[in-house]
Chains A and B, each alone.
Chain A
């Protein structure tokens, strides 16, 4: 076994373990949510996955970025084939394991991947240019300052490095094949990398060529491993989570609001429509709506980790367009950041985070007794929540079927029902609804419009 093989296996092991750990964390964060009454229609679910996740249907509302994005996506998918070979080569110490067995198919597939990589390279440069030179307005909102902007650029730069790695590797490889070096099997003609090789690497000595080929190989590999570990802490998880997120997307008409059975039962017994409910004791006054991520559903949290901060929701939000503070993207980012924070504190097992009245010698910290004196309301202000017109534009705009509106409405429910908060302006409407069953306090009867 060569040193390179040992190095590879060690790296594979370390990256595998670390990745397992961080993806389990994402899983745990999603589990912070409440049960989700999903959509039972399997055929609709798969249709969403095929059309929206695989087919990127919603991206095509905006043609140009959709094409660039599709290019990178297809290149990414196809490169997975090459990646399998890289892993096999890395373990076995062979070079291009697939080249000998696949005949004409091998150069065809590598040529295809190379074409896509060139297109993806161009698309990535255009994306960097759109973000940093053109400064497309949805990338320039308040919530995009600092880390979110760096995060996006880091991923794009990583992509560029990865593609450079691929072409250094393949370019040097074609030169080594021309020289007839034993370790490098004939791949057939590779159109792009052989011209890169001819232009940049021809006439270099054997050692330099092998060094270049190995550097390209390792650069490609470390970028892939790097991505794998970087994804869970970045906004880029959508490349994985878009699939489950579209699968579990809500299928009810977007105008539907989740019913609150506990309130319904209470009101029914109040109206005499159901047997008298047991009176609530003051110790267990229930919390309605969502104060924190643990009161949202796990689908709301999955939404938050699926978000790639593209801002299509914010760009169509009528409140945001007219200069209000509300940004649906920020709401989703806040849910994610708060879930990160809650999970971090739960992991600490620090009993200081247990609700004071529940503390005891045998009590373990868990999401049900967790209380750190903070909530989603420390991140999402009432000014944001109450600017929403519930118009569903953000829901419609999301390419991966995230629903920011549900979070906003659940938080309003908490503020209004549990805290008796909300805009003063609404009080006359609430009073009028309660007293006269209409939204305005009017003296006329409801049928006064009828001419008699």
Chain B
């Protein structure tokens, strides 16, 4: 990264408050693979010259996995503290690279008193492309087959299906849809706090079912919008011995390969 990442605590006092808060999330902060996505997205934010900041150590888990697991006490504890932090910094607009953070901040926080405009990074990237703040050149993915995996919490939970596909068309990738896509998209298996436990007995893991479906499209790249889908499908590729040939990448990692200097 060529530029320092601004911390909300450092810039909040300044007269020109950042336009948007980048909510990094647990995966984006700690998971080595997801950190790469975080850094790619920071590169995009810097390239577009949008003013932003992160919470750094002030950020805590949104409480999403606790709430979906059923642990409302824990969720309320985390969420109420986060809302306090966000309100102290007068945050009004938030972008996340994780659809779980996105969903919970956007849909669950208002009932607790946290009202923000929340967007997912694929939506921000699309709008930055639309209004010319982010300039990309096609060509890096010419002839590359890309299949796009809808995450449940961006797709069905919030109805965002087109922004990520719009981005894929702008980088001129050859988009091939899986059989189950958009409203019919199949979960990667991580949602509802499944990420943090073993599967119940069954015939197959859900990520393997989805991986097999993705492989049917014969892709060069599987594009995702969620750090947990990223883990699940990467694991699926490894299990299918395809991790050498097929890359599982977040949309922001595709974009940075096309950014015009």
Check if A423 sits within 8 Å of B158, measured CB to CB. no
Interface pick from A221-229, A298-306, A384-392:
A384-392
Check if B60 sits within 8 Å of A438, measured CB to CB. yes
Per-residue B-contact encoding for A183-202, CB less than 8 Å = 1, 0 else: 00000000000000000000
Residue on A nearest B182 in the bound complex, by CB: A396
Select B152's contact among A391, A434, A440, A445, beta carbons within 8 Å: A391
The reply on A450 being an interface residue by CB < 8 A is yes
Could you tell me the distance in whole angstroms from the C-beta of A73 to the nearest C-beta in chain B? 23
Interface pick from A101-109, A147-155, A257-265:
A257-265
Residue on B nearest A261 in the bound complex, by CB: B111
Could you tell me the distance in whole angstroms from the C-beta of A60 to the nearest C-beta in chain B? 12
Which residues of chain B in 193-242 are interfacial with respect to chain A, using CB atoms and an 8 Å cutoff? 193-194, 196-206, 208-210
Given A322-B205, A433-B74, A439-B26, A256:B199 Cβ within 8 A? no
In Å, the complex CA distance between A252 and B158 comes to 10
Could you tell me the distance in whole angstroms from the C-beta of A63 to the nearest C-beta in chain B? 14
Select B70's contact among A319, A393, A409, A433, beta carbons within 8 Å: A409
The reply on A415 being an interface residue by CB < 8 A is yes
The reply on B139 being an interface residue by CB < 8 A is no
In Å, the complex CA distance between A445 and B55 comes to 12
Check if B108 sits within 8 Å of A259, measured CB to CB. yes
Check if B111 sits within 8 Å of A289, measured CB to CB. no
Instruction: Kindly state the interface size class of chain B when it binds its partner.
Output: 35 or more
In Å, the complex CA distance between A452 and B81 comes to 27
The reply on A383 being an interface residue by CB < 8 A is yes
Could you tell me the distance in whole angstroms from the C-beta of B158 to the nearest C-beta in chain A? 5
Per-residue A-contact encoding for B136-158, CB less than 8 Å = 1, 0 else: 00000000000000001100111
The reply on A323 being an interface residue by CB < 8 A is yes
Which residues of chain A in 390-418 are interfacial with respect to chain B, using CB atoms and an 8 Å cutoff? 390-393, 395-396, 409, 412-417
Chain B residues whose CB sits within 8 angstroms of the CB of A322 once the complex forms: 199, 202-206, 208-209
The reply on B254 being an interface residue by CB < 8 A is no
Check if A389 sits within 8 Å of B189, measured CB to CB. yes
Check if A438 sits within 8 Å of B206, measured CB to CB. no
Chain A residues whose CB sits within 8 angstroms of the CB of B209 once the complex forms: 318, 321-322
Interface pick from B11-19, B61-69, B123-131, B244-252:
B61-69
Q: Which of A326, A393, A445, A452 has the most CB of B within 10 A?
A: A393
Check if B73 sits within 8 Å of A253, measured CB to CB. no
Select A268's contact among B70, B74, B80, B192, beta carbons within 8 Å: B80
Chain B residues whose CB sits within 8 angstroms of the CB of A259 once the complex forms: 108, 111-112
In Å, the complex CA distance between A318 and B229 comes to 14
In Å, the complex CA distance between A426 and B39 comes to 29
Chain A residues whose CB sits within 8 angstroms of the CB of B203 once the complex forms: 322-323
In Å, the complex CA distance between A412 and B75 comes to 14
In Å, the complex CA distance between A422 and B4 comes to 43
Chain A residues whose CB sits within 8 angstroms of the CB of B106 once the complex forms: 253, 255
Check if A447 sits within 8 Å of B56, measured CB to CB. yes
Select A319's contact among B69, B153, B200, beta carbons within 8 Å: B200
Chain B residues whose CB sits within 8 angstroms of the CB of A448 once the complex forms: 29
Which residues of chain A in 315-352 are interfacial with respect to chain B, using CB atoms and an 8 Å cutoff? 316, 318-319, 321-326
Select B200's contact among A326, A390, A396, A451, beta carbons within 8 Å: A326
The reply on B59 being an interface residue by CB < 8 A is yes
Given A393-B156, A409-B68, A449:B80 Cβ within 8 A? no
Q: Which of A417, A422, A426 has the most CB of B within 10 A?
A: A426
The reply on A275 being an interface residue by CB < 8 A is no
Check if B70 sits within 8 Å of A289, measured CB to CB. yes
Chain A residues whose CB sits within 8 angstroms of the CB of B20 once the complex forms: none
Select A392's contact among B54, B74, B156, beta carbons within 8 Å: B156
Given A325-B200, A447-B29, A437:B73 Cβ within 8 A? no
Check if A439 sits within 8 Å of B71, measured CB to CB. no
Check if B202 sits within 8 Å of A439, measured CB to CB. no
Select A253's contact among B28, B111, B159, beta carbons within 8 Å: B159
The reply on B260 being an interface residue by CB < 8 A is no
Per-residue A-contact encoding for B97-128, CB less than 8 Å = 1, 0 else: 00000011011100110000000000000000
The reply on A271 being an interface residue by CB < 8 A is yes
In Å, the complex CA distance between A446 and B23 comes to 12
Could you tell me the distance in whole angstroms from the C-beta of A90 to the nearest C-beta in chain B? 47
Residue on B nearest A423 in the bound complex, by CB: B197
The reply on A133 being an interface residue by CB < 8 A is no
Could you tell me the distance in whole angstroms from the C-beta of B109 to the nearest C-beta in chain A? 10
Given A255-B107, A325-B200, A387-B199, A264:B76 Cβ within 8 A? yes
The reply on B163 being an interface residue by CB < 8 A is no
Check if A426 sits within 8 Å of B193, measured CB to CB. yes
Check if B206 sits within 8 Å of A254, measured CB to CB. no
Check if A390 sits within 8 Å of B112, measured CB to CB. no
Select A422's contact among B70, B112, B183, beta carbons within 8 Å: B70
The reply on A267 being an interface residue by CB < 8 A is yes
Check if A412 sits within 8 Å of B69, measured CB to CB. yes
The reply on A430 being an interface residue by CB < 8 A is yes
**24 cross-chain CB contacts under 8 A:** A253-B107, A253-B158, A255-B104, A259-B112, A260-B72, A288-B72, A318-B206, A322-B205, A389-B206, A390-B68, A391-B152, A396-B184, A412-B70, A417-B70, A423-B197, A428-B196, A438-B30, A438-B61, A440-B26, A446-B57, A449-B30, A450-B4, A450-B5, A451-B1
Chain A positions within 8 Å of B, measured between CB atoms, are 61, 252-257, 259-260, 263-264, 266-268, 270-271, 273, 288-289, 316, 318-319, 321-326, 383, 386-393, 395-396, 409, 412-417, 422-423, 425-426, 428-430, 433-434, 437-440, 442, 444-452
In the complex, the 7 A-B pairs of residues with the closest C-beta atoms, listed nearest first: A255-B157, A323-B203, A412-B70, A390-B192, A437-B60, A425-B197, A323-B202
- Besides A442-B30, A446-B24, A446-B56, 4 other CB < 8 A contacts? A255-B106, A259-B111, A430-B74, A434-B77
